[in-house]
Chain A
Amino acid sequence: MIGATILLVFVLAALLAPYISPYDPVTQNTDLRLQGPSWAHLFGTDNFGRDVFSRVIWGLRVDLQIAILGVVFPFIIGTLVGTVAGFFGGLVDAILMRLIDVILAFPFLVLVLSIIAILGPGLTSFYIAMALVGWVSYARLIRAQVLVLKNSDYAVAAVSLGFSRARIMFRHLLPNAVAGSVVFSMSDAVIVLLNGAAISYLGLGVQPPIAEWGIMVAEGQPFITTAWWITLFPGLSIVVLAFGFSLFGDALGDVLGVKE
């Protein structure tokens, strides 16, 4: 409930960003540099005199997009691969599983960074990198479920009734196997969000002057002792959004009947 509320508020804020943010997020105003939080500037201003509150709201748009797109593509790829591997087994399974082992052998961030480095910095590269690397966890989760479910009586019944393989896989096994992955995707969204922020912090993701929480944290770093508000509020926003996803994932698990 709390998770859903947090997410709902964030999504609304992102949609309504042009209306609720008091200032333009990129317009610089050197007269207002590094002002602390006040009624005029709730979260203060940064070293270019931009309103931090407005930048946090506009950044939300970007970060929500990162969390969602960074999960959706791996989810789709992983679900398909996992279902196929689990259902067919044998050689197909062996090949796909070894591929997963190879990907897992590299540290996650290193792999993502190298792909982005090859493709060039930017959000598109980030999504491609996430899709190429992130699907492995989903594939493993789904495969394990499908392995169990394909021996259930209703799957056997489907075979004995002459249903096609595609029908059994996608109509009978997948809907029952997917619940665990849906829940996992929520905690994955948190990780992706943090990765997105980290990548932007390293200068490989979103490019300035666009407002994004990771960049904002990075930009505020030199002033952390004198103007703490520049880093604190975007950082705090990341935490709250992550918390929202996490709680929502738990609640989703209860609704979908996933056993802990």
Chain B
Amino acid sequence: MSAPVLAVTDLTVTLNRPGGAPRLLLDRVSLDLGKGEVLGLVGESGSGKSLFCRTLVRLLPSRNMQIENGRIMLGEQDLAQASETGMLSVRGGRIGMIFQNPTSHLDPVMSIGNQLSEGLRYHQKLDAPAARRQAIAILRQVGFPDPERQFDAYPHEFSGGMRQRAMIGVALSCNPEILIADEPTTALDVTIQAQILQLLMDIRRERGLSIILITHDLGIVAQTCDRIAVMREGRLIEQGRKRELLRSPDHFYTKTLIGSHPSMPSPAMEKKALTSPPDFRATRDKPLLKVEDVDVCFAGAGSLLGKQSGSVRAVAGASLEIMAGEIVGIVGESGSGKSTLARAILGLTPITSGNVTFDGTSLRGDPGAFLAKLRRETAMVFQDPYNALNPRMTVGEMLAEVLKVQGRIPQVDIPARVGELLDLVELGREFAERRPRSMSGGQCQRAGIARALAVNPRLIIADESTAALDVTIQAQILDLFRTLKEKMQLTLLFIAHDLAIVRNLCDRVVVMNRGQIVEQGTSLQVFEDPTDSYTQALIRAIPDIDPDKSLLPLADREMA
């Protein structure tokens, strides 16, 4: 490695609280970034990885935070001491940034092309026509198929993936030496994620750019980075070359992180692979849930004359069966209709045609009885653990309410049952008094699961229930689902965009694309030997934690 472009030594950032002792947010972080190097910065939410990168460009999120100590050497310049005007030419010009959510970081009332030209004109002092030519060249480089025309398009006209490309373009327009990418693909589907990562690697190769890639997904790091740095609670706990670190991590936390990566085979998965998959069809004749040819259409926007301008078919002809005691996964990318299908099954979204049968009662037969039965015997677990709980109720109140409405146990036994439910989801009983605001995401999700269990359900539908959680928490929640399934003979319908999770947890997998079920089968079948071309593409796009299982065939991975 040549001399580092960026050398950070003992960087310490504190938060000064009025009337309290200052809190240490970054604790003596030292890190070097070589020219043309991709450094993966890994850690869970709150580990300080984003704060570290914002400190590099001196954009601290609060006035109460300050750099207490340390140096940030960019070439000969110490950014920790630089003046605010001095930083203006550094931000963008020498260090570019891209963020997780391109939608909120692009100006919605400015065309993509103008947002690119802005940087070119300011940092490279180009005149308007030259900037336009240069911007079009950059748009082409970041993968816009028709840059001349797309120059004048606005952010809302593009998909999430294209917006992220545009944002990378904006960062490149200033021709920086270092690019900081903060969770650049977290909001994207796996296939798009693979494309964006590929793009970053191509740019690195073409421009010799150094990249700091912040991510929570070790798979991405394994696929793209040269070196890995692991952060936790404001400290850099370990760093090293990718292969060495992944092969023999020193710190126990790094080991946990690697161990909880969903692409790692879990013990349960290995067991499943050894024993032949259980044949549910042979043992039980009737499925618990049967979905036949279900269509869900949403009305398009009506015109002024009240005529409907056509409708969107969110789910088209979906059929599936779930046996009692099975864990079935539905996977698909955003917009594939998987959540709509789940809501339709639970009677939360009306279906346009088709039929749903739950344990003998069918929607077409007797809708009233069907809904009543569903409400008593099924429950749902949601994606966003905070949004899923009423913020004004304590966990105890919430559980007691469900028990009261269901009316199956006498009033006096409710407090005891609430305690049991908390035990089941491995929350302490003192959580009955807590409100969602004072709980972590994982704790809220456990409370949400407890609420689902309060119904004593036979079927639980979990809609992206781990997507908003950190990996180690994710692994814990998945374990909880497994344990509960064993303990309570639950049937579980698990919806996720993350294939690795589904693979580990589910007996059977249903793959959806554009409202249609394109493939279903046992997890082993679907993941080892997918028949549908879309499924194949989807599976190929999962970043594996093993750097030798290449995601990006063209990436120039071993830099000299």
Contacts and interface: CB of A to CB of B under 8 A. Distances in A.
A159 B372 contact: no
Contacts of B405: 161-164, 167
Secondary structure type dominating chain A contacts: helix
Contact of B387 (A153, A160, A163): A153
Contacts of B376: 162
Given A153-B384, A159-B348, A162-B405, A176 B391 contact: yes
Interface string B367-391: 0000010011011101110011111
Nearest to A161: B402
B401 A154 contact: no
A152 B379 contact: no
A172 B390 contact: yes
Nearest to B455: A161
B341 interface: no
A259 interface: no
B190 to A, nearest CB: 24
A171 interface: yes
Contact of B375 (A152, A162, A167): A162
Interface string A87-129: 0000000000000000000000000000000000000000000
Contact of B406 (A157, A159, A162): A162
Given A161-B375, A162-B375, A154 B348 contact: no
**Most chain B CB within a 10 A radius of its CB, from A156, A167, A171:** A156
A183 to B, nearest CB: 16
Nearest to A172: B390
Given A152-B387, A157-B380, A175-B392, A162 B372 contact: yes
A59 B301 CA distance: 56
Nearest to B463: A153
Given A160-B346, A161-B455, A176-B392, A153 B383 contact: yes
Nearest to B451: A157
Nearest to A152: B387
Contacts of B379: 160-161
A164 to B, nearest CB: 8
A159 B379 CA distance: 10
Contacts, number: 50
Nearest to A173: B390
**Most chain A CB within a 10 A radius of its CB, from B343, B380, B390, B406:** B390
Nearest to B388: A153
Contacts of A171: 401
Contacts of B380: 156-157, 160
B364 to A, nearest CB: 20
A153 B375 CA distance: 16
Contacts of B346: 160
A153 B462 CA distance: 12
Contacts of A158: 390
Interface string B320-353: 0000000000000000000000010010100000
Nearest to B384: A153
Interface in A215-240: none
Contacts of A162: 372, 375-376, 405-406
A158 B348 CA distance: 11
A256 B379 CA distance: 31
A154 B455 contact: no
Interface in A168-222: 171-172, 175-176
Contact of A154 (B372, B383, B387): B387
B390 A176 contact: yes
Interface of A: 152-154, 156-164, 167, 171-172, 175-176
15 contacts: A153-B384, A154-B388, A154-B389, A154-B390, A157-B380, A157-B448, A160-B346, A160-B375, A160-B379, A161-B405, A161-B406, A162-B375, A163-B401, A163-B405, A175-B390
Top-6 shortest CB links A-B: A162-B375, A153-B388, A153-B382, A153-B387, A175-B392, A154-B390
